[in-house]
Structure 1
Amino acid sequence: MSLLEVKNLGISFGGLRAVDGFHISIEKGQLYGLIGPNGAGKTTVFNMLTGVYTPNDGSITLDGVDITGKKTIDINKAGIARTFQNIRLFKDQSVLDNVKIGLHNQITYSTLTGILRLPKYHKAEKEMNEKAMELLKVFDLEKEADFLASNLPYGKQRKLEIARALATNPKLLLLDEPAAGMNPNETKELMETIHFVRDEFDMTVLLIEHDMKLVSGICEKLTVLNFGQVLAEGKTTEVLNDPQVIKAYLGE
């Protein structure tokens, strides 16, 4: 059974059909790419998968559970986490606190316990600190734990955003143009990071990306979106050599 199964997903804004009949099937542990020209509807798909938008039709099933139209927080608890094209960190908070924010969906104490700083609060906070530091060590960020997130170099901010997403304990990680703004060395390091995340965390990854070196270097399968509809899907090499894809996306 697929980890993510999307069928006939569609959404309209006013009279514009932004996504129509979108479908995708992603197996557990896959590195999967969603590509297409600017304005093709890729981020709109991500927004439907994460509950930012409610689809007009179609279904989204995660690990056998229908999550169609659920709230963002419920979808996150069900097992989908994401990053964004424009990094969305809490830049005035520490690197450690950014990861702890991701852990707060696993809080086991009540609001009253937190307000009164009861023993259960201190125990939970200690556990979150330890888990957050473990994640930071994975991404070689533990030495910057007390830095403001805004003071990290760009590439490390990307890593921190992925670490925070992983802190929510997802089954599926959505990466929205993770290589945007990166130089070649940072992109190479990002590729290694994504492979590591998949293997170390037994993670399934779906990413939107325009950097074809990154796409061809890590994605096992691709779906190509054009004008809100699936243009092609299949193994990465075959899709990137599809004449329709070359014409529509690569501009050749």
Structure 2
Amino acid sequence: MALLDVKNLSISFGGLRAVDGFEMQIEKGELYGLIGPNGAGKTTVFNLLTGVYKPNEGIIKLDGEDITGKKTIDINKAGIARTFQNIRLFKQLSVLDNVKVGLHNHYKYSTLEGILRLPKYKKVEKAMDEKAMEILKVFDLDGEADVLATNLPYGKQRKLEIARAMATEPKLLLLDEPAAGMNPNETGELMETIQFVREHFGMTILLIEHDMKLVSGICEELTVLNFGQVLAQGKTADVLNNPEVISAYLGDE
């Protein structure tokens, strides 16, 4: 059984079919790429998978559970986490506190316990601090735990965003153009980070990306979208050599 199983996913906006009959199966532990020209519908697919949009048709199953049309918070609890093309950190919070935000699905105390700083609040906060530091250490960010997120270099902000997503303990990690705005050195470090996350956490990853060097270097399989429809699907090398893909997308590079 595929970890992510998407069948006949479709959505229209004002009569425009933004995604039409989209299908995808991703196996557990796979590093999968979703590519296509600007406006092809890639981010719309991510928004459907994460509950930002509700599909007009189709089924989304995560690890056998039907999550179609559920709220974003419920889909996150079910096991999907994402990052964004434009980094969305709490920039005036510390690196540590950004990761702690991702832990709140698993560590809880009541509002009253928080206001009064009761023993349970202190116990939970201590546990969250320790867990957040463990995660930061994995990403080699523990030395900057007290630094404001806005003061991190761009590449480390991207790494922190991935660390925060991993704090939610997802089954599937969606990365939306993580290399956007990066220089070649930062892109190389990002590639290593993504591969490390996959191996260290046993993570299944779905990646939207325009950087073909990154895509060809780490993705095992690809789906190519064009005008909201699947143009090609399969092993990365086969898809990137597909004449239709070259004509529709890679020929523009």
TM bucket (normalised to shorter chain) is over 0.9
Q: Distance in 2 between matches of 1:121 and 1:167?
A: 19
Counterpart of 1:82 in structure 2 is 82
Aligned residues: 252
Q: CA deviation at 1:15?
A: 1.0
For 1:130-187, what per-residue CA distance to the aligned partner results, in whole angstroms no more than 9, with x for missing partners? 1111111111111111111000000000000000000001000000000001111111
Q: CA deviation at 1:106?
A: 1.3
Q: How does 1:171-190 map to 2 (within 5 A)?
A: 171-190=171-190
The yes-or-no answer on 1:41 pairing with 2:41 is: yes
Q: How does 1:1-252 map to 2 (within 5 A)?
A: 1-251=1-251
SS class of match (2:147): coil
| Residues 199-208 or 114-123, more deviating | 114-123
Q: Which runs of 4+ in 1 moved over 6 A?
A: none
Q: Distance in 2 between matches of 1:114 and 1:199?
A: 37
Q: Distance in 2 between matches of 1:128 and 1:14?
A: 45
Q: Distance in 2 between matches of 1:117 and 1:57?
A: 47
| Residues 78-87 or 134-143, more deviating | 134-143
Per the normalisation by structure 1, the TM-score is 0.99
For 1:12-49, what per-residue CA distance to the aligned partner results, in whole angstroms no more than 9, with x for missing partners? 01111100000000000000000000000000000000
Q: CA deviation at 1:115?
A: 2.0
Q: Distance in 1 between matches of 2:119 and 2:54?
A: 41
Residue identity opposite 1:214 in structure 2 = L
| Residues 106-115 or 92-101, more deviating | 106-115
Q: Distance in 1 between matches of 2:235 and 2:193?
A: 22
Q: Distance in 2 between matches of 1:189 and 1:106?
A: 30
SS class of match (2:19): strand
Per the normalisation by structure 2, the TM-score is 0.98
SS class of match (1:224): strand
For 1:64-121, what per-residue CA distance to the aligned partner results, in whole angstroms no more than 9, with x for missing partners? 0000000000000000000000000000110100000011111232222222211111
Structure 2 gap ranges (5+): none
SS class of match (1:168): coil
Residue identity opposite 1:143 in structure 2 = G
Identity percentage of aligned residues: 82
Residue identity opposite 2:42 in structure 1 = K
Q: Distance in 1 between matches of 2:34 and 2:234?
A: 11
Q: Distance in 2 between matches of 1:42 and 1:154?
A: 24
Superposition CA RMSD, Å = 0.7
Q: Distance in 1 between matches of 2:31 and 2:118?
A: 43
Residue identity opposite 1:31 in structure 2 = L
Residue identity opposite 2:66 in structure 1 = D
For 1:193-219, what per-residue CA distance to the aligned partner results, in whole angstroms no more than 9, with x for missing partners? 111100100100000000000000000
Q: Distance in 1 between matches of 2:218 and 2:119?
A: 45
